[in-house]
Amino acid sequence: GAVVSQHPSWVICKSGTSVKIECRSLDFQATTMFWYRQFPKQSLMLMATSNEGSKATYEQGVEKDKFLINHASLTLSTLTVTSAHPEDSSFYICSAGGQMNTEAFFGQGTRLTVV
Amino acid sequence: DAKTTQPPSMDCAEGRAANLPCNHSTISGNEYVYWYRQIHSQGPQYIIHGLKNNETNEMASLIITEDRKSSTLILPHATLRDTAVYYCIVRVLDGNNRKLIWGLGTSLAVNP
């Protein structure tokens, strides 16, 4: 299947700093990518839909100024957690593909810990 | 909200078939059923998807009832590596995007 790569796999940052997470589709072009957040023992929660060349669409309750999404090319979307706080500590996952009636492919996830 | 309901947990003996049920009684006629699994601290892995007909691939089989209100994922010969949380998802169309809305899934434990 197609490959989606996330970087970094884990990151520890200090409270108040910003962290950027990259999501790349390695062998296909993705006009749409999705960003999810998952807290321990919970399911994936969709944060936003990232569209190449346009603004991301955020789900209700997700602060667009705190979670900056940039989808500048057909193979790369980035999520920046700005002014991170301990409550932002979570597992962040991206996916690509899945439009039309195909499957979506997921990155390996990024474990963010804010201290 | 997720359009699917699944039992929170199931057990299966190694080598036996694992049958994971899913209810999706409000599914619309053009919405597909997708199955993914997630092993601890990893990204979800695609298993299979279908619309009306039963589907089979190298990983599993998907049986969808005629009224499409429920489905069953079958792992024919479960191994210890199949221990994971299995998610049954109805993909919905929201504007121009097809979204996966995740429920809590079924935690499958394959026992030796």
Residue A96's DSSP bridge partners are A33, A105
The pLDDT of residue A100: 61
Inspect the interface and report whether the beta carbons of B41 and A111 lie closer than 8 Å. Answer: yes
A48-53 mean pLDDT = 87
The pLDDT of residue B93: 77
Dig out the tokens for B34 from the structure: 């997708």
The pLDDT of residue A1: 63
Residue B104 Ramachandran class (φ > 0 left, ψ -120 to 50 alpha, else beta): alpha
Average pLDDT, chain A: 91
CA distance B73 to B65: 12
- pLDDT tens digits along A76-91: 999 999 999 999 999 9
The pLDDT of residue B30: 83
**CB of A6 within 8 A of CB of A23?**
yes
Picking from A70, A94, A57, A98, the residue whose alpha carbon sits closest to that of residue B34 is A98
Strand locations in chain B, DSSP E? 9-13, 18-23, 33-38, 45-50, 55-56, 61-64, 70-75, 84-94, 97-100, 106-111
Q: Is the peptide bond before A40 cis (omega within 30 degrees of 0)?
A: no
Picking from A11, A33, A30, the residue whose alpha carbon sits closest to that of residue A81 is A11
Residues of A in contact with B2 (CB under 8 A): 43
The pLDDT of residue B59: 95
- pLDDT tens digits along B2-34: 689 999 999 999 999 999 999 999 888 888 899
Residues of B in contact with A105 (CB under 8 A): 46
All residues at 6 or more sequence positions from B4 whose CB lies less than 8 Å from its CB, including other chains: B22, B23, B24, B33, B88, B89, B90, B103
Q: How far is CA A84 from CA A12, A16, A38, B66, in A?
A: 11, 5, 16, 49
**CB of B40 within 8 A of CB of A108?**
no
- pLDDT tens digits along A96-108: 976 665 678 999 9
Cβ neighbours of B61 (radius 10 Å):
17
Inspect the interface and report whether the beta carbons of B87 and A43 lie closer than 8 Å. Answer: yes
Q: Calculate how close chain B gets to A65, using CA atoms only, in Å.
A: 22
The pLDDT of residue A86: 96
Task: Please tell me the least confidently modeled range out of A29-43, B54-68, B93-107.
Answer: B93-107
- pLDDT tens digits along B69-108: 999 999 999 999 999 999 999 887 777 777 888 889 999 9
In this complex, the residue of B43, B49, B97 whose CB is nearest that of residue A93 is B43
The pLDDT of residue A104: 84
B36-56 mean pLDDT = 93
The pLDDT of residue B45: 94
**Between these two residues, B96 and A93, which has the higher pLDDT value?**
A93
The pLDDT of residue B7: 97
- Would you say the C-alpha torsion A104, A101, B17, B106 has a positive or negative sign? positive
